[in-house]
Amino acid sequence: MKSTVFVLAACLTALYFTPPVNAAEKTGISRPLTALFESRVIVFGHRPKRFSRLWHFIRQADRVEKQIPDQHQDEVWFRGKDGSLKAYQFISDKHRLVIEYNKGDLRSISNYPSWALVAAILPAELRGKLKYQGSTKIFGHPASLYRGNLNGADVELTWLDDVMLPAHYREISQRRDTQIELKNLYSPKNAPWKARVTTNYRFMDFADVGDNESDPALRELAHGH
């Protein structure tokens, strides 16, 4: 959103063309918080297609939950004692079903992100590939502005330095315009929503999904319902 970029630029209190040293990165990425994000995508063409979605992000020291209200689905990631990703849960609130993936399951399906990526949403190396543009504040938090061109796409990033999250990310390529925008940020105590409680849900190991193809919930999920 160009207007957002212009507003952010106007709010700069000072410009420094050397990226700041963020001593809080190691603790910031584990800082408990709750956030509301909006993702927007425009697929270019004769008739451009537009998609948007609001989603909740709930981060604890060893647990990250992404809630997708319009789909009645959640994703939960767990960190192990060694600091790496330990497990993942797919939760269907509609079907009151939790599918559990262990580390081996995630590796077997080639879907094994780092814990740092899960906890910060964007890859850590991204900022190093962009040019630092200056600093500002977003929701009272210190933020850094970056711009650059990656693989033929123009990229803009506003990064919250202390809590290690994007406030705004935009990537424009020939085919699409992709944005992630932070709409609000809360302390866990004051958040309007909480982590999903699955005490009365049915649990299933990912390894058993193939043996339960006739399960009505799995059949609906396979068809996008």
Q: Kindly state the DSSP code that residue 110 receives in the 8-state scheme.
A: T
Q: Would the pLDDT of 136 be above 80?
A: yes
The number of distinct structural domains making up the chain is 1
For 166, the domain range is 14-222
Query: Residue 208 maps to which CATH number?
Result: 2.50.20
Q: What's the whole-number average pLDDT of the chain?
A: 87
Could you tell me if residue 9 is inside a domain?
Answer: no
Counting Cα atoms < 13 Å in the Cβ hemisphere of 195 gives 16
Strand-pair category, 165-172 with 73-79? unpaired
In-domain check, residue 91: yes
Cβ-based neighbours of 30, under 8 Å, separated by 6 or more? 59, 61, 62, 119
On whether residue 134 sits in a domain, the answer given is yes
* 197 pLDDT higher than 70: yes
Examine the pLDDT at 9 and tell me if it is beyond 60. Answer: no
Please enumerate in sequence order all residues whose Cβ is within 8 A of that of 131, keeping only pairs 6 or more positions apart, or say none: 146, 147, 148
Position 28 confidence tier, pLDDT thresholds 50, 70, 90: confident
Strand 97-102 to strand 202-205: parallel, antiparallel, or no bridges (unpaired)?
parallel
Average pLDDT over residues 192-217: 90
| Closest to 178 in 3D by CA, of 118, 135, 122, 117 | 122
Position 1 in a domain: no
